Structure 1
Amino acid sequence: MRSTEHERADAAVWDVARPARPSRVAGVSMAGFRDRGLAPAGHRVVPHPGVTVALEFGAGPLIVDDAAGRQQRGSLVAGLGFGSSLVRVRGENFEAVQVRLSPLVARAILGVSPADLDGVVVALDDLWGQEASRIRERLGDVSSWEERFALTDALLARRHETGSSVDPEVAWAWDRIVITRGLVRVDRLAAAVGWSRKRLWSRFSSQIGMPPKRAAKLVRFDHAAHRLAAGEGAARAAVEAGYADQSHLHRDVMAFTGVTPATMAGEPWLAVDDIAWP
């Protein structure tokens, strides 16, 4: 297990832990968070090309305030690409296991398509019922992050085995978008799987949670965002991520987050992952 402390001048410390081994389910990644008194304003949530599950079990509540002014407390699920400058996570003395799901496995694990989440945050209890309460209790009963990760992974693997999968054509199209970092034309994807552009758009949207063109844009943004968070300059990040120029990158970052690339690159929510984590 790897762990670190993430600290900024305007926010208290978060303890962060990561599993020593990858999940047994491809497309699943996890991290553990322990808050020791988060600043009231909370942390900005940066959009990510995955579905996020937060399994909260600490003494204080995990709170998410979304862009529409709604508030969600406790364990939750956030749809594909959820986040913006107006979405913040906060709380006090909470602990949680954060799970990021590829949209290819999200439907099987959650029991609903990412499209049903429509990019918003919902209570995990609404999707899993009593199973959400049971995993919360079990996570609180064990004392180490490795035990928590093992419990979470076993639950996810069990649900994945019994859940429904996406169409192989949709899975291939998503994989191509990820592999090319969003630099692929939708008509070429459709031609490669033998579908019309309209059919790919419909099936992809209903199973992944957004149209393929929007998904490609989100994946490209995510790639650039992590290059920025890792310390790369905006001009270089724009070139490497396939943007026409630095201004194009700036417009995309503003569209997804509402803030400048420099501001976004320093957000703790973005910095805790495989690429940007120190």
Structure 2
Amino acid sequence: MRFTTIQAQASLQNEVESFIIVENETELPYNVLPDTALVLGFQYKGRLSLISDNKSIPLSASGITGLQNKVRVFRNLEPSGSVLVRFKPGGAAALFALPIHELFEQSIPLDAIISPHQIRIVEEQISEVQTDRERISIIENFLLSIKRKFDTDSLVSAAIQCINESAGNIRIGDLAKLLNSSSSPLEKRFRSVVGCSPKKYASIVRFRRVMTDDHKGLLPSERAYEAGYFDQAHFIKDFKRFTGQTPEHFFSSRSF
């Protein structure tokens, strides 16, 4: 598998975390764990399927995936190549007019929310060029063409920052008070821009903290403590929801 990360140009750096090139030469299932980023995907070679309830669901050549609450399993059905656009938290709201929480736990074809004609042109263009830089340039131009005038929600931006800085260890009521707001309007605005509730976002941030390489070599219980889990039962419940496995089984089967 080839996995290459490239930073976005300056005009997209407020919205896009990075572009990721993924190529597989053999048929291969792989797991994608919950993360704080919405992902836009363009297939320029081969096809992907989502494995759900032991069924293989073919995915569109271009699609968008919202925030997830559990592990998802994908399989490339032949040698494949993809360009993934990893958005910053809240970044997708500057490009897509729909409330971002409507994408929660969804993977939908991009032509369901953008002109199919426009999507076909992008798909044709990226399949005709040969280099990563050329493909990313095409996608960057596409993103700039759909970027809309968008006033950043300062309340949501501050909430994201607070949750990230606390590594997800903050009560939403305390967060609202800290930001001179109340829980209800904060949650509504947060969901619309980020794609899930502040509480769910915080739980994903804390889970990702457990997975960080900073904790390499630690026992699962030690990882949990370092990430702010002080209740082992709560940690195991969250971990099984996000990965489908117990912490012990997950880490014993991987080189962490």
Tell me what 2:190 maps to: 204
Distance 1:181 1:243, change over 3 A: same
**What's 2:97 paired with?**
111
- The CA distance in 2 between the partners of 1:267 and 1:63, in whole Å, is 24
Could you tell me whether the CA contact under 8 Å between 1:43 and 1:267 is conserved in 2? no
- Is 1:30 the counterpart of 2:19 in the alignment? yes
Question: With structure 1 as the length reference, what TM-score do the two structures score?
Answer: 0.78
Determine which of 223, 226, 235 is the counterpart of 1:249. 235
Question: Are residue 18 (structure 1) and residue 5 (structure 2) matched?
Answer: yes
Does residue 88 in structure 1 map to residue 80 in structure 2? Answer: no
5+ residue gaps, structure 2: none
Alignment-derived partner of residue 222 in structure 1 = 208
Deviations 1:180-234 (A, max 9, x none): 2111221222123322122212222233221111110111101212338955432
Residue 122 of structure 2 is aligned with which of 107, 112, 135?
A: 135
Partner of 2:133: 146
Q: TM-score if structure 2 supplies the norm length?
A: 0.85
**Contact map agreement 2:100 2:191 (CA 8 A) in 1:** no
For residue 168 of structure 1, report the CA deviation from its aligned partner: 1.4
Displacement after TM superposition at 1:166 (Å)? 4.6
Identity over aligned pairs, percent: 24
* Offset at residue 267 of structure 1 (A): 9.0
* 3-state secondary structure, aligned to 2:2: strand
2 CA distance for matches of 1:95 and 1:265? 28
Paired with 1:232 and 1:149, the residues of 2 have a C-alpha distance of: 38
Q: 1:170 touches 1:203 (CA, 8 Å); kept in 2?
A: yes
Tell me the SS of whatever aligns to 2:84.
strand
Deviation at 1:68, TM superposition (A): 9.4
Contact 1:30 1:98 in 2 (8 A): yes
Q: Deviations over 1:4-42 (max 9, x none)?
A: xxxxxxxxxx222222x4443234212101121223xx1
C-alpha distance 229-95 of structure 1, shift in aligned 2 (>3 A) = farther
SS in 2 for 1:57: strand
Are the equivalent residues in 2 in contact too, given 1:72–1:123 (CA < 8 A)? no
RMSD: 2.8
Tell me, which stretches of 5 or more residues in structure 1 are unaligned? 1-13
Separation (CA, whole Å) in 2 of partners of 1:164 and 1:151: 22
Match of 1:10 in 2: none
User: Relative to structure 1, is the Cα distance of residues 82 and 164 closer, same or farther in structure 2, using a 3 angstrom cutoff?
Assistant: farther
Deviation (angstroms), 1:81: 2.3
**In the alignment, residue 186 of structure 1 is paired with which amino acid?**
I
179, 183, 188: which one aligns with 1:193: 179
Which amino acid in the other structure matches residue 233 of structure 1? L
Tell me: CA distance 1:199–1:69, structure 2 relative to 1, closer, same or farther (3 Å).
farther
Distance 2:203 2:84 in 1: 24
Distance 1:163 1:82, change over 3 A: farther
Between the aligned partners of 2:204 and 2:117, the Cα distance in structure 1 is: 33
Q: Using the TM superposition, give the Cα deviation of residue 50 of structure 1 relative to its aligned residue in structure 2, in angstroms.
A: 1.2
Give the length in aligned residue pairs.
251
